[in-house]
Structure 1
């Protein structure tokens, strides 16, 4: 008897046979791991195994992988080399992402067979963040810019508008992500790298207003000041040199005049000097060891920077004859008069020192000029005295001439040569007066006419001689010179009964060498050993030592220099 087969069982068998056929067909037609119709940036990798697809991607996309990536930073365009920036295509990972997610199981294979294609797959990009950051930081150096506020400046009497500039800074952290997504992107164009902008507070509208309402009227003509029956005319070019416009703390510009600088300008100072006089300090001298007044101080008349500023500023927005104003003078009092000598404690000789030198015309002139400028210096308690500030630059215009000085370890010719004799004399005067040196420096090599470890040199703009008046009373400096000597005396009130110097032995002695001198303007030089030396400054009161201070000096060897 034949067994009857249930219809549902028969139908199931037919379906099983059909699915098997589809599976077999799918394996034949779709081939490898990757569905048909799969592309990566136009490269067809459908039906391939993963390794085949990775190999084809590396080959077909080689040009795109190495092509520079165009970028924009603000309004600038540049390019980044992918390799330098740590950008690369991961072909194997891309093939993995394109492969059938279920591998070769029947459901996946039959699904791929029945679907139209695998579609476009995004390439997998790897980034070495350290390299990317370094490349972006190089771009930042090129294109970052600081914000510049709008302003108005004055040049040779003409106002000029300074346009504002928006600040720009490349956001390196966020730009790394932009590089990753833009590299090998479909239809790749320039990658817009993110920047942070800082807008100026003073914009173009404000600079235009300041130019129109103030700057142009300010430079429209000269300003005339009257004082003491005299007229002082100030040209736009001179005014503009000391006039500027500054932010007012908000979004506006306000004018500011440097009245002190304007008064010091030669064109103005020359006119002002006709109606002004400097206060004259009292002249002191010694009678034995006691101070007496040789000539009383006298008041002076001056025009102050504040007065000039207050008068000139309102005139700058006016025109024609309205640009005229009157400036009052004020009386200035000297620090030192017959009545104030005793009050300031100027009663006795604190110290005195003399340096002798070989007579020479340049030494006589330069040492005499420095002594003249120093003589009569009044240093109030807790004030700091400066050699360079008092004497000024050693130029021909200031009364100095060319002489011999030490430069780079050898004698050379320069304006003001010889003034170190005055510096050394001042140093010893302050040393034995017991006041505090603030800045000083010895010569590079030892000079025999000076005391070892108790000498000083000066150089304009680099080395000064300064002391702090910590004596508790004022100090008056007497300085005088002859053709062969200079003497500096400090007057005031002694803080210590005596101040002594105790020199130690020479140590770390080094021998000099020999070298040729310059072909032009050569100055011969005798050899002398270099050494270290320490000098103790000893302070005594009532015969007892109350304090000691070491002064340590290192001298380099003085090489023998022979001239051709």
Structure 2
């Protein structure tokens, strides 16, 4: 047995041997050399821009050590080759479907740029490591591939053609209403591709460089099950008559009522073959008023019409036309009430109304809107002739002359209105027309609607209690001497009862109803004379009554033997005859006016003016308007 000897101990503080020191120095030197070499390598890699590192590839194509242009050219040639060999096939079918060149493309320039910059993209001290990695294991750069501007559409067409050969996409079940049947057109299963998946596969195949055809798998899809509840909600409707939209006045079409039993449809569809038609009976309810019948009925008939001749100044004629235009084309639905004041609104200069004569306190004065009572009166007569219901109407203070007595309608905004109701079963339309004929101006109002009977209206009146007006003279210095000026035309007072007479298609009187009773006031005629002529008309120059001077007796002549009596005394005062008043007797009945009324109203006889050789300057007759006259009429 070997004897164990005690070991030696180094003295505390003893130094290492010279060999150990040399080893440490060598290791340090090697490390420093390696570090310096790595730094140099990093620096060198930084100077290789434009030359991909050895071991670098793009989509499997080695471009290591090539210059930038060389690498770009090599990749373009390779991807061109891949594009030429790109094709499709369907699983279980050997036929290949080539994809045309120019359908897909690769971004070669960007790929080479990425490959070149890859080792320098992570900082200076990482460049050497990426170089070593590329040298030892290589580095493959991805390339961006995609469809060209027209390539995707070409691929869509190719896939659609393949799907068509396989049977096409799935055909879903549809349905249609055919007469009194609901017909289901059952769909057919289809074999189709998921286009998004196929397109992604084509690009990946192109990028990989695989030259074998890309195999596609078509999916077989059956048509969706028919949702009979949804079909019922879409097909079945409640019956509805055609109507006129109250906002747009357009015809709202009629709807035919349809319905079917869901249980009946379910039983008929069960087990039916794909591609067949299945009919289910419909319950059909036709509307009582169809779209076509309503269109044929609307405004087909003239219910009534009236025409009046428009006189007076140009301003008055303008006001008449403007007021009439406010209701031209107006449509009233059944039960709707028309208001003349609402239609025209307030008559102001801003709306275009002008100054023209109105009645006020029994006088004729100029105001804005003079003449607007003529359209209301003409409309009133048209509604009477149309046999419509009158809601509100007021007669003038004085007879107007442009419509028969008792057939006028005065208005005044804010108090007196003219209103009537469409009491027919269909909409009515108001049409007004202002026009010239034979040098005269006329206003015609026509009401269109739908007549359901053969009744016609003839309006008549009974005019009585005639009261002739007086002629009064008044002094006015503005009147030239030797002339007479018409200061105010006179109106003959009278009463008028109007009757609405209905006749059937054979001309037989069906009914005659008292429509209104009207009382028109009398108004004196005023003639203006110069103060120099006043005495001839019983006036002094200041307008007070003139009293002729008393006659002076003539001295008695010396009688001659043959004289038996004295001559009759003479008066120096002029003799003035009183105005002759000619009154027209009251007619028993006056018919409604013709389309073009006479210029001269038969109900307004004018007393004669004394013929003393002085010409009369007549003013234009007073015209009616919206101004309220005494007695609540204008």
Please classify the TM superposition score into its range, dividing by the shorter chain length: 0.3 to 0.5
Question: RCO (CA 8 Å, sep 6+): is it higher in 1 or 2?
Answer: 2
TM-score, normalising length: structure 1: 0.38
TM-score, normalising length: structure 2: 0.34
Higher share in strand: 1
Larger Rg: 2
